[in-house]
Amino acid sequence: MTSEQMTVPGWRGLTLRLVILTAVPLAIVLLLILFGSFNLHQQEMRHMVGERDERAARAAATALDQQLHYRAVAIQSLALHAAEVEQVEDLLPQYAFLQSDFSGGLALYGDNGRLLAATGSFDWPVERTLPSTTITFSDPVSDEGAPGQTLVLVTAVAPDGSAAVGAFSPADLARRIQLMALTGHEAAGAFLLDSQGRLLYQAGVHSQPLVDPNQHPGAVSALRGESGAIYVSDADREYVTAFSPVTLTGWALVLEEPWQAVATPLLQTTLLAPLLLAPILLVAFFALWYGARQIVRPLQLLAQKATALGWGQFEAIEEPVGGIAEIQRLQTEMVHMARKVEAAQQGLRSYVGAITTGQEEERRRLARELHDDTIQSLIALNQRVQLAQMTADDQAAAAKLSEIEQMATQTIEDVRRFTRALRPIYLEELGLVPALESLVNDMMATSGTAYSCRITGPTRRLTDEVELALYRTAQEALSNVVRHAQATEVTLTLAFNTGCVTLSIQDNGRGFTLPDSPAEMAPLGHFGLLGLYERAQLIGATLHIKSQPGAGTLVEVQVTTA
């Protein structure tokens, strides 16, 4: 016997609940942690590198300031010294130690702007070298002795109006403080601009061609006197751009290096550290899958088989469900228990069969006595009433006798119907099909429900035991419909198929919740279902019941025939 309650079992399975309530939130949390930590790490790393390069740019700008200050002080000292001596031509050899700092040469001018002495081929027009202030740095000029090179002139004016001038190369100055070494990567770049945005020095690889360095984002900020670090992207790379002003001259210093160069293998490793959560997530999913496959699913199968066992399908529990060793041992114990229950049930079935046989015999005896004695006595009584009615002179007495006759006739009909219920004469004399048709007609006559009877397949007689069990099953099912279902339509179908016969009773009533096993039928008051189950067991039939509150009930009995 099997049962079905027409529920929606899919999403209520333990496996799916584990996935929805455990695996999915865990996966979401781990992914949030993974990508969140990845992004946070990336942002912190970018911030750290930006601070590092900004400090490097500031350090380089400070070094440039110191070098420029040193040159300014040296030229100022030369101008003051020249104002104190008469033979300035002999003074420059004493300052030969400055030749390494002023690769463009040194020069001394009188207060009238006349060149008094110079080293090398130094010869600059007076109007370009004599400023109105004490110390000045000139705009970049081309070195006539080295085409393509740029020089910057630093001029100091003495109190008497004489002046000293030194010419130095900004490129040499940048190389002296090792700008490229500050970036720490061969793919980096650096450039230096004067206060007007003119290029003084450039080297290395840049984020964009320096067609107009004055428009570079870092240079623009540095020329405004700002320090900082930004990220500049080109088609292939992203550059960390640090910038800082050179305070003494108003120059702008910009250092650049590609982000890929900053992310050293160690930093890349730490960046990928959050990805270690991915294997953990995979392990968690594998553990869940293993638990579902080796524990949850076998337990679900074992629960299904235990339910089938409760409905008398003893062979179902013997099919292996797999899983871990503990579940297999549990199934083995359940198989042993099922065999003992089956043996006990066989004995109980024989006992119930004997009781049922005795019950049917008692019904036949009672039906026979009612038919032979009670009904005959009622018929005789009815005939006496009719005779008395014919000889009655008083109309009032005749009316009372007529009423008694009607009551006797109705009682005879009720006793006959009761007798047919106790002993289905049609079943014994004509077979199962006429008996079921007569049963349906009787139910229709005594209730307001619409009944229909369908017979399919080539009809044939069955054994007395099977026909009686099927008839009693239909009788009990229809009686349950009348008492409990509150149905408006009931269909009885008897299908003769090859090798089996199927009896089904379908109603559109209110339905009910099926018990989980036959053992719960009696405590819950389902004695009619228990009777159906026992009758099906006696003839080796399969009983299938499908019901749900508000959706009607289907009772189906299938018995194998020769």
512 shares a domain with 367: yes
202-218: pLDDT as tens digits? 877 655 555 566 777 88
The values of phi and psi at residue 56, to 5°, are -65, -40
227 shares a domain with 118: yes
361 shares a domain with 253: no
Q: What is the mean pLDDT of residues 489-508?
A: 92
358 shares a domain with 238: no
Alpha helix segments (H runs only) across 13-23: 14-18
CATH code where residue 131 lies:
3.30.450.20
Please give the angle made by the CA atoms of 259, 262 and 265, to the nearest 5 degrees.
Answer: 120
Distance CA 476, CA 487 (A): 15
Q: What is the mean pLDDT of residues 286-308?
A: 76
8 pLDDT more than 50:
no
CA atoms within 13 A on the CB side of 427: 23
Residue 197 and residue 213 in contact, taking contact as beta carbons nearer than 8 Å: yes
Residue 323 domain-assigned? no
124 pLDDT more than 60:
no
Residue 234 domain-assigned? yes
CATH code where residue 534 lies:
3.30.565.10
Q: What is the mean pLDDT of residues 338-348?
A: 71
Domain of residue 375, residue span? 347-560
Q: What is the mean pLDDT of residues 451-479?
A: 88
Q: How many helices (H) and strands (E) does the chain have?
A: 17, 17
Distance of CA 528 to CAs 520, 521, 532, Å? 13, 9, 6
403 shares a domain with 496: yes
Confidence of residue 281 (pLDDT cuts 50, 70, 90): low
153-181: pLDDT as tens digits? 899 988 888 888 998 888 888 887 766 55
Q: For residue 129, which of 167, 155, 157, 158 has the smallest C-alpha distance? A: 155
Give the least confident one: 71-85, 90-104, 278-292.
278-292
Q: For residue 107, give both structure tokens.
A: 């020069």
Residue 22 domain-assigned? no
Classified as helix, coil or strand, 9 is coil
Residue 390 domain-assigned? yes
Residue 103 domain-assigned? yes
Task: Share the mean pLDDT of the chain.
Answer: 78
Residue 74 and residue 98 in contact, taking contact as beta carbons nearer than 8 Å: yes
Give the model's pLDDT for residue 17: 61
353 shares a domain with 257: no
Distance CA 229, CA 47 (A): 9
User: What's this model's pTM, rounded to 2 decimal places?
Assistant: 0.47
Count of C-beta atoms within a 10 Å radius of residue 466? 19
497 shares a domain with 402: yes
Distance of CA 366 to CAs 64, 283, 499, Å? 127, 74, 36
- Domain-terminating residue out of 214, 240, 264: 264
- Domain-terminating residue out of 248, 264, 280: 264
Residue 315 domain-assigned? no
The values of phi and psi at residue 430, to 5°, are -115, -20
The helix (H) or strand (E) run that includes residue 328 is helix 325-369
Report the DSSP beta bridge partners of residue 559: 501
354 shares a domain with 255: no
- Domain-terminating residue out of 243, 264, 285: 264
The DSSP call for residue 318 is G
Confidence of residue 501 (pLDDT cuts 50, 70, 90): very high
206 shares a domain with 110: yes
Give the model's pLDDT for residue 21: 65
474-487: pLDDT as tens digits? 888 888 888 888 88
354 shares a domain with 252: no
The values of phi and psi at residue 84, to 5°, are -100, -15
Residue 379 domain-assigned? yes
The values of phi and psi at residue 264, to 5°, are -65, 165
Query: If you search the block for the tokens 């009944």, which residue do you land on?
Result: 451
Those residues whose C-beta lies under 8 Å from the C-beta of residue 431, and which sit 6 or more positions away, are: 459, 461, 467
Give the least confident one: 2-16, 413-427, 436-450, 516-530.
2-16
360 shares a domain with 245: no
Those residues whose C-beta lies under 8 Å from the C-beta of residue 45, and which sit 6 or more positions away, are: 263, 267, 271
6 pLDDT more than 50:
no
Q: What is the mean pLDDT of residues 238-262?
A: 84
Distance CA 244, CA 256 (A): 12
354 pLDDT more than 80:
no
178: left (phi over 0), alpha (psi -120 to 50) or beta: left
Please tell me the total number of residues recorded for the chain in this structure: 562
362 shares a domain with 247: no
Residue 191 domain-assigned? yes
Give the model's pLDDT for residue 492: 93
Confidence of residue 334 (pLDDT cuts 50, 70, 90): confident
Indicate the number of domains in the chain. 2
